[in-house]
Structure 1
């Protein structure tokens, strides 16, 4: 390979780069290409490499060529933006290795067709691809791909969505003549590529070690900008920070659950906590008992499927609170654990809901009978379920409120949107208005609203809050926008002269500090809740990052970002957009959140306490009452 001085330099430096899709990487690069005069790269082939106004331009001639970064990686994150002048024949090589004849071999992510294609290639010294072997497909919920099995015919997956949905997946195909962005993660034996905020394209190859290289094909002109890399073998953990507003108590060190609930399970007048297989008894929560067989999960390879969501109430009517465990994937939809009262034993279990397709559910009194119902998604519909009074441990009564196609895996809320005193139901696609009669036997009126945004093919948040944010007398909506991506917003309810309801989105946090309250940015707001944290009479919003949400993989943006837990103070301010703003305050940066967050006054001292259960364990944050926000905790 020849060294040439063209004013292009590979400079190594530590930077703080805000995770952002479309305008930068979702990780924090430690390597970047910048314009300066150092010779820290090499070229192979007959392509010309020059500085352009917006980055580095590679132009292939009769053959193509490579710009090779002279630093080797085994596992790496990679980001770039690129634009092809006409047709695209470009890509990135990883783990390159020089051959005896001067050729360069490596794993090649090709951008030539509408979607990324992955090959093992050999490129000769003239810049011609002389060998190109497709890599076996491999992606999904594992870090190391299992041994390949014989290919079996697959039926194409067809998802039919209603025409009136307010949001559709973005176009993630390759766009010649326009800027494209791509993130690529090379880890162990898997290569994952995400083009233009689309879904994963993955392949499997043997592990290797070597430089990264940019490629342009014959008679192709491509401009690259914002190229960044990170060495995945280097892991960083921030020093622990806990807000002085709260006292932190750890209940468990193990990954049993992503959820928690509270009730007086032993009827001693003190609230207890259920999380995973254990009841933790108040008031000190130092004593616990197992109500089903405890088995901790490995957060790198397993989901705590028995503890996806848990709710507590007296579902059988015997005066003793029971536990409803809702599962997502790998099991029945919901199982009822019946409290045996004074008997010290594990609890009897009954399947009461057979199917569930939502990772988020809530327990609220929907029909106004004074008893809570399970609100969730199943069989493509939005629905709620309640016990049969004559047989509470048998199949529950299911009430479907939507047509098929409106279910979403993420994002569920309940609240009175239209001010008629009846509970309405929300999800990522909008809200359903509860009718004045026949609410349990008829479909509800649908109002499309995009309470969500897409990241890598996923949309919808966690528990959606319904309350009057700006004090105008109308309930608004506060929600995370993508439980596996970016976004937190509040939606201001507006009414026209005829009383018709619409919503205006006000972004609280998106994919860069400039777009986010307090400059706070984090991904995977999979666990949320709301309560009046500071005692000013106005509900606040609580959100945390779910760390290892898809196990130890790189499927989600910034998967190893700090597992933070924040509360956002609702501040009514006539000068703010929409008449309100949200002020973030860090609670903890070592715990995060699971599927939801419990916010309640556990010890009846007038201060809200917060409970979260994650892959790091189960924790209480004891509230200390009304305080002034601390800037150092933001």
Structure 2
């Protein structure tokens, strides 16, 4: 265990530039090797949570060092925390906070930070638990080109780029994929096989336009109504040429994979056959899809988001757990393997990569059962 608080976000990267991977988890960063907690930022406690719903690394000011970008559940601002450099990191100083964007949008479940338009720069993809909230994606736009960017689609959402302080090279410019279709759960992937990255939410999925994705709304397909994980996983699991989905019920029992079986000719909806993976524990809120055991095939990592709703969810007081699942292509089934039971659970993010330089995939998680580092043997 590295720390114990209500923080549920964690990310990995070389923040001090020494060539080793470090961890960032809420209020602290942890130097690779000794893994001692070092201060990063203050976060307010709120109703059993902390007012932060994930950590993301990006060089915001172009100085060659990784900074932290973070949003929150209720506050509408997205802040970036400036990497203070060698001496301040050595002395354990906090990182200066700067406003990156006031989105004017609250009730945010979480976000993804992934490139969905193919320009090599990640987008800030925000998911709301409220079904009728606009589905917003924010582009990282160079500050010098903000005026041109604002002329694209921001009028409908009254989105203008904030003047970020801290000499930021980038700012966030918003685009509403749709005005009233959102809901708990988010994913990105090419769901319909047209070569474009789509966005999945709790109520269905947004189809990326053929061209100019930031000058128009995206077509929404109400193909389901779920209270799902962040993220869901979009992948051709059964290798039949179309995309399937792996979904956890974030606040209930249930982990399943959805086999895409074609398009309903009468309605145009995508058809899926649902296959249960596991229903023995609740709150598989966060999923990771990575080759954990080194056999060349990706594995599913998930576990219980301990006290996700402060014990009010079904099974909310049951012990935390963390598992990985291997996929058998012949039988089209998953087999569960235990990483930990009784101590380690999940929060809102799972790190799965080599963290100590031994070429094996390690795991880091942060949740209300603690921030943990699990090194592969």
Q: Match of 1:292? A: 41
Q: Match of 2:153? A: none
The 2-side partners of 1:547 and 1:256 are apart by: 10
Q: CA deviation at 1:523?
A: 1.0
Q: Which stretch of the first structure deviates more once superposed, 318-327 or 352-361? A: 352-361
Alpha-carbon distance change, 420 to 267 in structure 1, aligned in 2, over 3 angstroms: farther
The 1-side partners of 2:76 and 2:43 are apart by: 18
The 1-side partners of 2:291 and 2:199 are apart by: 22
Alpha-carbon distance change, 422 to 623 in structure 1, aligned in 2, over 3 angstroms: farther
Contact 1:451 1:460 in 2 (8 A): no
Q: Secondary structure at 1:361's aligned position in 2?
A: strand
Q: Match of 2:276? A: 508
Q: Match of 2:159? A: none
Q: CA deviation at 1:450?
A: 1.7
The 2-side partners of 1:312 and 1:271 are apart by: 12
Alpha-carbon distance change, 547 to 497 in structure 1, aligned in 2, over 3 angstroms: closer
Q: Match of 2:176? A: 400
* CA distances 1:333-378 after superposition (whole Å, capped 9, x unpaired): 4221122233513222223243243313111011111111111136
Q: CA deviation at 1:317?
A: 2.6
Contact 2:261 2:273 in 1 (8 A): no
Q: CA deviation at 1:586?
A: 1.7
Q: Secondary structure at 2:55's aligned position in 1?
A: strand
Q: Give runs of aligned pairs for residues 199-348 of structure 1, distance below 5 A.
A: 250-252=1-3, 254-282=4-32, 284-293=33-42, 302-306=48-52, 308-329=53-74, 331-344=75-88, 345-348=93-96
Q: Match of 1:464? A: 232
Q: CA deviation at 1:604?
A: 4.2
Contact 2:187 2:200 in 1 (8 A): yes
Larger radius of gyration: 1
Contact 1:465 1:479 in 2 (8 A): yes
Q: Match of 1:241? A: none
The 1-side partners of 2:233 and 2:121 are apart by: 20
The reply on whether 1:623 has 2:376 as its aligned counterpart is: yes
The reply on whether 1:424 has 2:192 as its aligned counterpart is: no
Q: Give runs of aligned pairs for residues 408-419 of structure 1, distance below 5 A.
A: 408=183, 410-419=184-193
Contact 1:324 1:336 in 2 (8 A): yes
The 1-side partners of 2:269 and 2:355 are apart by: 37
Normalized against structure 1, the TM-score is what?
0.51
The 2-side partners of 1:495 and 1:610 are apart by: 36
Q: CA deviation at 1:571?
A: 1.8
* CA distances 1:515-546 after superposition (whole Å, capped 9, x unpaired): x4xxx511112232221122233322221112
Runs of 4 or more above 6 Å deviation:
none
The 1-side partners of 2:324 and 2:317 are apart by: 21
Q: Which runs of 5+ in 2 are unaligned?
A: 145-162, 166-170
The alignment's C-alpha RMSD in Å is 2.4
Q: Which runs of 5+ in 1 are unaligned?
A: 1-249, 453-458, 510-515, 625-634
Q: Secondary structure at 2:127's aligned position in 1?
A: strand
The 1-side partners of 2:300 and 2:140 are apart by: 30
* CA distances 1:298-318 after superposition (whole Å, capped 9, x unpaired): 9xx521223x21111223332
The 2-side partners of 1:291 and 1:620 are apart by: 18
Alpha-carbon distance change, 536 to 292 in structure 1, aligned in 2, over 3 angstroms: same
The 1-side partners of 2:43 and 2:172 are apart by: 26
Q: CA deviation at 1:615?
A: 1.4
Contact 2:15 2:65 in 1 (8 A): yes
The 1-side partners of 2:362 and 2:276 are apart by: 24
Q: CA deviation at 1:275?
A: 0.1
Q: Match of 1:477? A: 245
Q: Match of 1:488? A: 255
Q: Match of 1:450? A: 224
Contact 1:411 1:461 in 2 (8 A): yes
Alpha-carbon distance change, 549 to 256 in structure 1, aligned in 2, over 3 angstroms: closer
